[in-house]
Homo-oligomer: A and B are copies of this chain.
Amino acid sequence: MTQYVYLFRDADGKNKAKFGGKGANLAEMTKLGMPVPPGFTITTEACTKYYEDGEKIAPEIIDEVFKTLEILEKETKKKFGDYDNPFLVSVRSGARASMPGMMDTILNLGLNDVSVEGLAKLTENPRFAYDCYRRFIQMYSDVVTGVEKANFERFIDEIKEQRGVKLDTELTADDLKVLIAEFKKFYKEKVGEDFPQDPKQQLVGAIQAVFRSWNNARAITYRRMNDIPSSWGTAVNVQSMVFGNMGDTSGTGVAFTRNPATGEKKLFGEFLMNAQGEDVVAGIRTPSSIDKLKEINPEVYDQFVGICNKLENYFHDMQDMEFTIERGKLYMLQTRNGKRTALAAINVAVDLVKEGLCTEQEALLKVEPKQLDDLLHPAFDKAVLKKSTPIAAGLPASPGAACGKICFTAEEAKERVKAGEKVVLVRIETSPEDIEGMQVAEGILTARGGLTSHAAVVARGMGACCVCGCGAVEIDEETGICTIAGKKYTKQDVISLDGSTGNVYEGSIPMVDPDTSGNFAKIMEWANKYKKLQVRANADNPHDAAVAYNFGAQGVGLCRTEHMFFEGDRIAAVREMIVSSTVEQRKAALAKILPMQKNDFIGIYKALKGYPVTIRFLDPPLHEFLPSKEEDIRALAADMGIAYETLLETVHSLHEMNPMLGHRGCRLAITFPEIAEMQTRAVIEAAISVNKDGGHVKAEIMIPLVGDVKELAYVKKVVVDTAEAVMAELGTRVEYKVGTMIEIPRAAITADKIAKEAEFFSFGTNDLTQMTFGFSRDDAGKFLGDYYKKKIFESDPFAKLDQEGVGELVKIAAAKGKATRPDIKLGICGEHGGDPSTIEFCHKVGLNYVSCSPYRVPIAILAAAQAAINNPQD
Contact = CB atoms under 8 A, between A and B. Distances in A.
A670 B793 CA distance: 12
A756 interface: no
Given A792-B708, A808-B749, A661 B770 contact: yes
A567 interface: no
Contacts of A776: 656-658, 661-662
A749 B772 contact: yes
A804 interface: yes
Interface string A727-758: 00000000000000001111001100100000
Nearest to A786: B671
A671 B783 contact: yes
Interface of A: 656-663, 667, 670-671, 705, 707-708, 710-711, 714, 743-746, 749-750, 753, 767, 770-776, 778-780, 782-783, 786-787, 790-793, 802, 804-806, 808-809
Given A771-B771, A805-B749, A662 B707 contact: no
A628 to B, nearest CB: 12
A708 to B, nearest CB: 7
A663 to B, nearest CB: 5
Contacts of A786: 670-671
Q: Select the residue from A660, A708, A744, A745 with max chain B CB neighbours within 10 A.
A: A745
Contact of A774 (B714, B767, B779): B767
A661 B749 CA distance: 21
Contacts of A783: 663, 667, 670-671
A745 B747 CA distance: 12
A661 B662 contact: no
Given A660-B658, A787-B670, A773 B746 contact: yes
Contacts of A804: 749-750, 753
Nearest to A668: B783
A248 B775 CA distance: 74
A774 B745 contact: yes
A771 B787 contact: no
The count of identical subunits is 2
9 residue pairs, one from A and one from B, having the closest CB atoms: A746-B805, A661-B776, A662-B779, A744-B774, A745-B745, A657-B778, A658-B776, A658-B658, A710-B792
Contact of A745 (B659, B782, B809): B809
A429 B810 CA distance: 56
A773 B747 CA distance: 8
A708 B793 contact: yes
Nearest to A667: B783
Contacts of A744: 772-774
Contacts of A743: 774
Nearest to A807: B749
A650 to B, nearest CB: 13
Contacts of A749: 772, 804-805, 808-809
A660 B659 contact: no
A659 B778 CA distance: 10
A660 to B, nearest CB: 4
Nearest to A779: B662
Nearest to A665: B774
A779 B710 contact: no
A658 B779 contact: yes
B808 A663 contact: no
A749 B774 CA distance: 13
A670 B772 contact: no
Contacts of A774: 661, 705, 707, 743-746, 767, 771
Q: Select the residue from A772, A791, A793 with max chain B CB neighbours within 10 A.
A: A772
A711 to B, nearest CB: 6
A466 to B, nearest CB: 36
A754 B749 CA distance: 20
A146 to B, nearest CB: 22
A494 B750 CA distance: 50
A198 to B, nearest CB: 35
Nearest to A787: B670
Nearest to A670: B786
A772 B805 CA distance: 13
Q: Select the residue from A661, A793, A805 with max chain B CB neighbours within 10 A.
A: A661
Contacts of A657: 659-660, 776, 778-779
Contacts of A787: 670
Nearest to A711: B792
A661 B750 contact: no
Nearest to A784: B667
A753 B808 CA distance: 13
A809 B786 CA distance: 28
A624 to B, nearest CB: 12
A805 B711 CA distance: 14
Given A670-B792, A804-B750, A782 B708 contact: no
Contacts of A772: 707, 744-746, 749, 771
A670 B790 contact: yes
A707 B773 contact: yes
B670 A779 contact: no
Contact of A778 (B658, B711, B746): B658
7 contacts: A656-B782, A658-B660, A661-B661, A661-B780, A707-B774, A708-B792, A767-B774
